[in-house]
Amino acid sequence: MINVTKSYLPDLEEYTQYLKGIWERVHLTNDGPLLRELEGQLKEFLGVKHLKYCTNGTVVLQMALKALNITKEVITTPFSYVATTNALLWEGCTPVFADVRPDDYCIDPDKIEPLITENTQAILATHVYGNACRIEQIQAIAEKYNLKVIYDAAHTFGATYNGKSILSYGDLSTCSFHATKVFHTVEGGCIVTNDDEMAEKLHFYRSFGHRNDDYYSIGINAKNSEFHAAMGLCVLPKVPDLIESRKQVFGWYNDRLNFGRITRPVLTPGVAYNYAYYPVVFDSEATLLRVMEALNAQHIVPRRYFYPSLNTLPFVVGHQPCPVSEDIALRVLCLPLYPGLPEEDVDRISAIVNEAIAVLSEPA
């Protein structure tokens, strides 16, 4: 079976070496030495000032909203993973959906301004598939209306915009280190800021608000363990090679797929990509379903990602049409892409896709 992704696992010996240290120290969690080591290495790898390593890429979105005191309307993207909208709803905020750009499926800055009201406090946008949003335009709107900018940068690990990690933009930026992401710690995530005071606040938020024996503030339990940090320490040095291997697979698809009948998102100028996903957009949902069926019959499992468009979730209040996002969500499929996926498999997958789209286009 070929899945849409396959987690990289380090050499078991290497991981076991870290476990031995944990057994010696009997320090399993709570800001342990491996966690601190990983945070240091991540800051250096990404070139960011402050980074808090946490339990996942969802709780860090919640922490971001809480830390910036966002409780009212937030202009957000309908084209993301459900966690982006869930974080808003969980924190009692009102998601206001701005449609996405038809070429890269990131939030369309031109759609943001008309949605701003006196209750708008922030913009929460996702760098879709690891490609950067229109950062300058979003920043200009935020400054004009005094809004905060939070980026769900879950897909961007290892990708840069104008030479800097995409995680370094916005008031706060969050990443996921879930097993399916470019860099993973089994479960995990982080929140990034350039602001010293904000970093301190997030440090205490992560651990119940505890400051020594008193309390700095409210808090949550978003601490991650030494076992997760150890996985991160094993995987991080491999990231450049892992991205290189992804790039190779990516190139094989580019050479083989029939782009007469498939469209692909464009990269924002200035982005050095991390090859996180290989989304293809078909002419209709019917074609997508045909392709999926053909792949599944060969035990190949692509993923409808993102689907559905988040403005259509059953628990989102009110009808907020986003025609571009709704249309793309119906037609987009992520093909298997992971380091080490063999070229023969990309051959086979591409052939199945090309054949399935050719069949459909013939008159009935």
Ligand X SMILES: *Cc1c(COP(=O)(O)O)cnc(C)c1O
CB of 127 to ligand X, least distance (A): 8
Is-contact 70 91, C-beta < 8 A? yes
Shortest separation between residue 94's beta carbon and ligand X, angstroms: 19
Least separation in angstroms between residue 283's CB and ligand X is 26
151 vs 252, beta carbon nearer ligand X? 151
Q: Which is nearer to ligand X, 7 or 354 (CB)?
A: 7
Give the amino acid at 19: L
For ligand X, give the closer residue by CB, 122 or 257.
Answer: 122
Name which of 58 and 309 has its Cβ closer to ligand X: 58
Q: Which residues bind ligand X (CB under 6 A)?
A: 56-58, 80-81, 83-84, 126, 152, 154-155, 176, 178, 189
Q: What is the DSSP track for 227-285?
A: HHHHHHHHHGGGHHHHHHHHHHHHHHHHHHS-TTS-B-PPPPTTEE-----EEEE-SSH
In angstroms, give the least distance from the CB of 128 to ligand X: 8
Whether the Cβ atoms of residue 160 and residue 271 lie closer than 8 Å to each other: yes
Question: Between 59-67 and 82-90, two packed helices, what is the crossing angle to 10 degrees?
Answer: 40
Residue closer to ligand X (CB basis): 94 or 176: 176
- 81 vs 252, beta carbon nearer ligand X: 81
Q: Cis before residue 306, ω within 30 degrees of 0?
A: yes
Q: How far is the CB of 50 from ligand X (least distance, A)?
A: 19
Shortest gap between Cβ of 60 and ligand X (angstroms)?
8
Distances from the Cα of 149 to the Cα of 134, 140, 208, angstroms: 12, 11, 25
**By Cβ distance, which residue is nearest to ligand X?**
57
CA 166, CA 273: separation in Å to the nearest integer? Answer: 10
Q: Which of 268, 127, 246, 133 is nearest to 183 (CA)?
A: 246
CA distance 267 to 43: 25
Decide whether 189 or 302 has the Cβ nearer to ligand X. 189
Q: Which of 350, 128, 364 is nearest to 259 (CA)?
A: 350
Rounded Cα–Cα distance for residues 59 and 83 (Å): 9
Q: What is the Cα–Cα distance from 143 to 350, expressed in whole angstroms?
A: 45
Please say which residue, 231 or 294, places its beta carbon nearer to ligand X: 231
Q: Whole-angstrom Cα distance, residue 26 to residue 28?
A: 6
Q: How far is the CB of 58 from ligand X (least distance, A)?
A: 4
Q: In the bound complex, what is the minimum distance in angstroms from residue 305's beta carbon to ligand X? A: 8
**Cβ at position 192, least distance to ligand X in Å:** 14
**Of residues 62 and 160, the one with the C-beta less far from ligand X:** 62
Residue 6 burial class via C-beta count within 10 angstroms: exposed 0-12, middle 13-18, buried 19 and up: middle
